[in-house]
Amino acid sequence: MKSLRKPIYATAAYNTVSLGTGRKEFHPKKPRPGIEHYIEEAGRGALAQINDTANIDEGVIANFMAPRFNRQGNLPALMPLIDAKLEYKPLVSVEGACGSGGLALTTATKSILSGMADTVLAVGVEVQNTVKAIYGADILGGAGHYASQRKSGHAYFFPSKFSDRAGAAYEKFGYDKVREAMARWYERAVLNARECPKAQEHHNSTEDLFATGMTRPNGKTFCDHINVYDCSKVSDGASAVVFASEEGLSKLGVDKKDTVELIGFGQVVADISKDPEDQTKLTTSARAAKAAMEMAGITPKDIGMLEVHDCFTIGGILSLEAIGICGSGEAFDFVREGGTAPAGAMPTNLSGGLVGYGHYTGGTGVRQAADIVMQFTGKPDGQKLVQDANKPYGLMVSMGGNDRTVVSCVFKKVR
Amino acid sequence: MDLDARLENVAVLGAAGKMGSGIALLLAQEMAKQKIASGGDRSYVLTLMDVDQSALTGLMSYLRAQLTKLGEKSTIALRADYADRADLVENGDIINAFVEEALSFCRPTTSLDAIKGANLVFEAIIEDKNIKLDVLKKIDALCPDAYYLTNTSSIPIGVIDKGVPLNGRIIGYHFYNPPAVQKLLELISPEGVKPELVETGVELAKKLRKKVFLANDIAGFIGNGHFMRDILHATSEVKKLAQEAGEAEAAYMMNRVSQEFMIRPMGIFQLIDYVGIDVCRFIMNVMTEHIEGETLSDDLLNRMAEAGVMGGQHADGSQKDGFLKYERGRPAGIYDLTKGGYVMFADGDWAAALDSKLGSLPDGHAPWRALLMDPKKDEKLEVYFGNLAKSGALGSNLAKAYLVRSREIGEKLVSDGVANSVDDVNGVMMNGFYHLYGPINKHVDLMVDAVR
């Protein structure tokens, strides 16, 4: 088992608004900020929390499909738009579908571990409202295997992949139980998002969220086993976090109390051309989380909060089992009984997660890390503080595709 | 020849007009579906004839945009339809292929000769009997076996049938505006019609996902038969109210009574503007010409037309000013013939004074939009109408009289044989005019005594 050769800290977290349907200021026919705006806002929001951009050694930018959504490639060269002092520094982009953000975290970490950098700015961004959802589904479909899966796939390619998972869960564990758990997940996501002014569902004022979440799936208009409330929405947004070594922190003038320590990570990739062995299990996520916890030297019992990749409600629920919070088939009751609520046994996705906060795909992994930094440094930007002194650990899972490219990180509160 | 075979060669006359373009879109969609289902074995032609060349260019852009929207909405089904096409992978590929497939058989033309060989001919040209007869005569020489479906909203179909003559090969096929959206279709059978044609019309309506109501061949049919007489009731009330309040003020009041007190989607004068003041006058003239013993004509409408105020819609579908002035699609003022211009609702307190004269809405009132999708709509209407019957406010009294008259009009459509049943009258008004309740309903019993 590899271990970290020196302490790694994350600090200076910043999230933009997650813009899309649901936000009052969103109008599909009116002009909106472009990808540059989000990169700049998130990057500057992070850099405002350190002394001088000149002290940033490297930069990494996570994104999934800017070449199609925004007709823009060569993203590293967009980073100097944040601050001219980033120009001529080693900047790099990473892509692993919706797991891109997680790759930015491990890439930054590895640079510091290698000794090539003491400080790295990690930014994650996606601006997806440039096309209608039906065409966006094509673009996001790139997270699956185009050659072997797209032609036979559904119009809503990814929703249908997780619809298949939900269908398998209905069959194995019973429709009512699974359906109710998914509706409760939706309800909880929106309730948490209401607390966060920048969340996409912040303005959602639906009275009976559970009833909405229980809407019966209709394969003629959408997918056979999930409804639209089971899905994260189309989002524009970006997040940024600065990673640093001990030396890096002093260079940046950042106090340790404003940081969290990254104490373990797992980066695991499965073959894109293969279908899941068991539709009710996220086996790649399980490997990533296991590796991260082993490196961190903790078990699921030590975890105080989770950030999981609920691109679909069923995915969020199954990830509880993948991480080991619940045994096989037990996550449905755990969620139905409020286990993931801020006051529950395992507070999860406190700013709303992908369903509630929004899912700017390539940027989401960075947003998850940013939320953990905010949670453990007591600067929560809306999310409820849930810290338990006996469980000073936060675990996140950033997942690309149908459980293919996965990063899991364990962060520890710095005392 | 069955419907599927007839759909291989179809023509729309007046295709670039408001009604024609909607009909063209519905047909292009249906024919494209059949073409895809046939696996490309059958060939299709949709001839789109209009006298206006530039409007035909606009029509093609309209069809492209609307077919694209349709493709985007039905991608799930289209992916299944195109499952065998290995070259079509992404949704974008599939939607494009569908749009191109449909447009590939649309032939815009200004030439009547291009219609030669059509099996189904949809007629949506100007509402003028002589022009219709002249055009159909020429086409019938080119397509001697075609079935004709005319969109006339007022001219008796028998008059056209005999005038050409078509020997029973024509039915009234009256779409509501806009045809692509409105669910209602009035199918009018003239005397001596070929029964297969009526069957074909009913079958086609189903394919186009329309709700068909069969009407008999008496000018105005059901929809306009009711609507035109409804207008005349409103204008006669305006005349009475005007003596005290002024004409524009009276029209304001009747518009408000017909919309809010009667819980209809729009006030009567807004509806006249929507259809067009000149169009309403024209339909009344045609009905007067063909219905013995009844003159449908209105002095107020005539004076508005003389003043050049016409209503109707702009090419983009937005509302032109008519009785009312529209701002962002909503009524904001009313035309005052004595001033030769609009008085705005927001200028001064005249509108508020008229509102208080009408009195408050009876208890249990809810706006039309709120009730439209309400599963308890009928119960709520029952409570509201009960309170309306008891209310002595001016607005309530005008609404009661209007409801009583509206029912009389509906009942007369049945007794005159225009409609076959009360349900057909109610069905047309509810599906074509989006009324929440049919004109012939039990609530009116409560109003009758109060009105007398």
Q: Per residue in A187-209, pLDDT tens?
A: 999 999 999 999 999 999 999 99
What is the percentage of chain A residues whose pLDDT exceeds 70?
100
Q: Kindly tell me if the per-residue pLDDT of B182 is higher than 70.
A: yes
Give how far B189 is from chain A: nearest CA, Å: 36
CB contact under 8 A, B92 and A150: no
Contact (Cβ atoms closer than 8 angstroms) between residue A397 and residue A280: no
What mean pLDDT do residues A82-105 have? 98
Do residues A34 and A163 both lie within one domain? no
Q: How confident is the model at residue B158, as a pLDDT? A: 95
Which of B136, B221, B206, B110 has the alpha carbon at shortest distance from B174? Answer: B221
Do residues A203 and A78 both lie within one domain? no
Q: Which of residues 140-199 of A touch B (CB under 8 A)?
A: 141, 146, 150-151, 154-156
Q: How confident is the model at residue A160, as a pLDDT? A: 97
Residue whose entry in the numeric block shows the structure tokens 């039990």? B442
pLDDT band, very low/low/confident/very high, at A361 (cuts 50, 70, 90) = very high
Give how far B181 is from chain A: nearest CA, Å: 19
pLDDT band, very low/low/confident/very high, at A172 (cuts 50, 70, 90) = very high
Do residues A128 and A242 both lie within one domain? yes
CB contact under 8 A, A150 and B90: yes
DSSP string, B329-344: TEEEEEEETTTTEEEE
Give how far B93 is from chain A: nearest CA, Å: 10
Do residues A214 and A187 both lie within one domain? yes
Q: Which of B69, B72, B76 best probes binding to A when mutated, by most A CB atoms within 10 angstroms?
A: B76
Tell me whether A54 touches chain B (CB under 8 Å): no
Q: Residue B89: list chain A partners with CB under 8 A.
A: 146, 150-151
What type of residue is A270? A
CB contact under 8 A, B72 and A134: yes
Kindly state whether residue A384 falls inside one of the protein's structural domains: no
Kindly state whether residue A386 falls inside one of the protein's structural domains: no
What mean pLDDT do residues B155-174 have? 95
CA B186, distance to chain mean position in Å, is: 10
Q: Which of B70, B90, B96, B99 best probes binding to A when mutated, by most A CB atoms within 10 angstroms?
A: B90
Which of B101, B62, B7, B67 has the alpha carbon at shortest distance from B315? Answer: B62
Beta bridge partners of A412: A261, A393
Contact (Cβ atoms closer than 8 angstroms) between residue B221 and residue B153: yes
Do residues A246 and A317 both lie within one domain? no
Do residues A274 and A335 both lie within one domain? yes
Do residues A144 and A157 both lie within one domain? yes
Q: How far is B231 from B214, CA to CA, in rounded Å?
A: 23
Compare CB distances from A135 to B78, B79, B92 and report the shortest one's residue. B92
Number of domains present in the structure of chain A: 2
Do residues A219 and A336 both lie within one domain? yes
Q: Kindly tell me if the per-residue pLDDT of B153 is higher than 90.
A: no
Kindly state whether residue A341 falls inside one of the protein's structural domains: yes
Q: Which two tokens stand for residue A75?
A: 């993203």
CB contact under 8 A, B91 and A154: no
Give how far A148 is from chain B: nearest CA, Å: 11
Compare CB distances from B89 to A135, A150, A156 and report the shortest one's residue. A150
Q: How far is A167 from A170, CA to CA, in rounded Å?
A: 5
Kindly state whether residue A306 falls inside one of the protein's structural domains: yes
Tell me whether A137 touches chain B (CB under 8 Å): yes
Beta bridge partners of A408: A266, A397
Domains and CATH numbers, chain B: 3-216 (3.40.50.720), 223-451 (1.10.1040)
Beta bridge partners of A127: A236
| Cis ω before B178 (30° cut-off from 0) | yes
Domain coverage including residue A397 = 133-232+268-351+393-413
Tell me whether A389 touches chain B (CB under 8 Å): no
Rg (CA), chain A: 19
Residue of chain A nearest B88, judged by CA positions = A151
pLDDT band, very low/low/confident/very high, at A150 (cuts 50, 70, 90) = very high
Kindly state whether residue A363 falls inside one of the protein's structural domains: no
Give how far A372 is from chain B: nearest CA, Å: 37
Neighbours of A391 (CB within 10 A): 17
What is the percentage of chain B residues whose pLDDT exceeds 70?
100
Q: How far is A360 from A409, CA to CA, in rounded Å?
A: 19
Q: Kindly tell me if the per-residue pLDDT of B317 is higher than 80.
A: no
pLDDT band, very low/low/confident/very high, at A387 (cuts 50, 70, 90) = confident
Helix or strand run (H / E) with residue B237: helix B223-245
Query: Hey, is B202 helix, strand or coil?
Result: helix
Mean pLDDT of chain B: 94
Do residues A152 and A171 both lie within one domain? yes
Q: Residue A137: list chain B partners with CB under 8 A.
A: 91
Compare CB distances from B79 to A135, A155, A222 and report the shortest one's residue. A155
Give how far A135 is from chain B: nearest CA, Å: 6
Compare CB distances from B91 to A137, A219, A222 and report the shortest one's residue. A137
Contact (Cβ atoms closer than 8 angstroms) between residue A150 and residue A141: yes
Kindly state whether residue A376 falls inside one of the protein's structural domains: no
| Cis ω before A90 (30° cut-off from 0) | no
CB contact under 8 A, A134 and B76: no
Do residues A165 and A275 both lie within one domain? yes
Kindly state whether residue A346 falls inside one of the protein's structural domains: yes
CA distances, B11 to each of B28, B47, B66, B148, B345 (Å): 11, 4, 19, 10, 46
Residue of chain B nearest A148, judged by CA positions = B89
Q: Kindly tell me if the per-residue pLDDT of A1 is higher than 70.
A: no
Q: Residue B85: list chain A partners with CB under 8 A.
A: none
Tell me whether B371 touches chain A (CB under 8 Å): no
Which of B55, B41, B48 has the alpha carbon at shortest distance from B4? Answer: B41
pLDDT tens for each residue of A59-91: 999 999 999 999 999 999 999 999 999 999 999
Do residues A274 and A319 both lie within one domain? yes
Query: Hey, is B111 helix, strand or coil?
Result: coil
Kindly state whether residue A22 falls inside one of the protein's structural domains: yes
* CATH classification at residue A321: 3.40.47.10
Which of B23, B33, B55 has the alpha carbon at shortest distance from B180? Answer: B23
What mean pLDDT do residues A103-116 have? 98
Q: Kindly tell me if the per-residue pLDDT of B382 is higher than 80.
A: yes
Beta bridge partners of A125: A238
Q: Residue B90: list chain A partners with CB under 8 A.
A: 138, 141, 150
Q: How far is A370 from A14, CA to CA, in rounded Å?
A: 6
Maximum pairwise Cα distance, chain B: 75
Give how far A225 is from chain B: nearest CA, Å: 15
Q: Residue A221: list chain B partners with CB under 8 A.
A: 76
Q: Residue B86: list chain A partners with CB under 8 A.
A: 151
Q: How far is B58 from B123, CA to CA, in rounded Å?
A: 19
Highest mean pLDDT (candidates A103-117, B25-39, B153-167, B314-328):
A103-117
What mean pLDDT do residues A10-36 have? 96
pLDDT band, very low/low/confident/very high, at A389 (cuts 50, 70, 90) = confident
Query: Hey, is B41 helix, strand or coil?
Result: coil
Q: How confident is the model at residue A13, as a pLDDT? A: 98
Q: Residue A132: list chain B partners with CB under 8 A.
A: 72
Q: Which two tokens stand for residue B150?
A: 């005319």
Give how far A222 is from chain B: nearest CA, Å: 8
Do residues A243 and A194 both lie within one domain? no
Tell me whether B89 touches chain A (CB under 8 Å): yes
Backbone angles phi, psi at A3, to 5 degrees: -130, 165
Give how far A142 is from chain B: nearest CA, Å: 10
Q: Kindly tell me if the per-residue pLDDT of A174 is higher than 90.
A: yes
Q: How confident is the model at residue A388, as a pLDDT? A: 84
CB contact under 8 A, B76 and A154: yes
Q: How confident is the model at residue A375, as a pLDDT? A: 96
